[in-house]
Amino acid sequence: MTQADLEIISVEMENHGSYLSLEDTKKRWNLVYYPSPGNIPNPITQLSSEEIEQMKAEFEEELERLIKPEGIWNNGATFLVLGRKVVD
């Protein structure tokens, strides 16, 4: 916000997360193919199929470590930021 010459008035965070089953969480692997802003082209497309398979295996191993009786926590934090333009 400071780069846009905005004065920060308030910043709040709302948590909208929930627990997902292990199976549903493993399906989220497909989301790695959607680039986030600033990551175009998607860096994953530059990996070999062997590297992608290794990364997927590590992803699923980490999910196994994160599982709780309720499932795996899927964080859905939202930041609400209010600012105003500084006028001289």
Domain ranges of the chain: 2-85
Mean pLDDT of 5-23: 91
Query: What's the pLDDT score for residue 21?
Result: 96
pLDDT digit string, tens, across residues 31-61: 766 666 666 777 788 889 999 899 999 999 9
Full-model pTM: 0.63
Q: Work out the pLDDT band at 71, boundaries 50, 70, 90.
A: very high
Of 58 and 2, the structure prediction assigns the larger pLDDT to: 58
**Range 50-74 burial, b when 16+ CB lie within 10 A, else e:** eeeeeeeeeeeeebeeeeeeebbee
Residue 30 has pLDDT above 70, yes or no: yes
Q: What does the alpha-carbon distance between residue 59 and residue 19 come to, in Å, rounded to a whole number?
A: 17
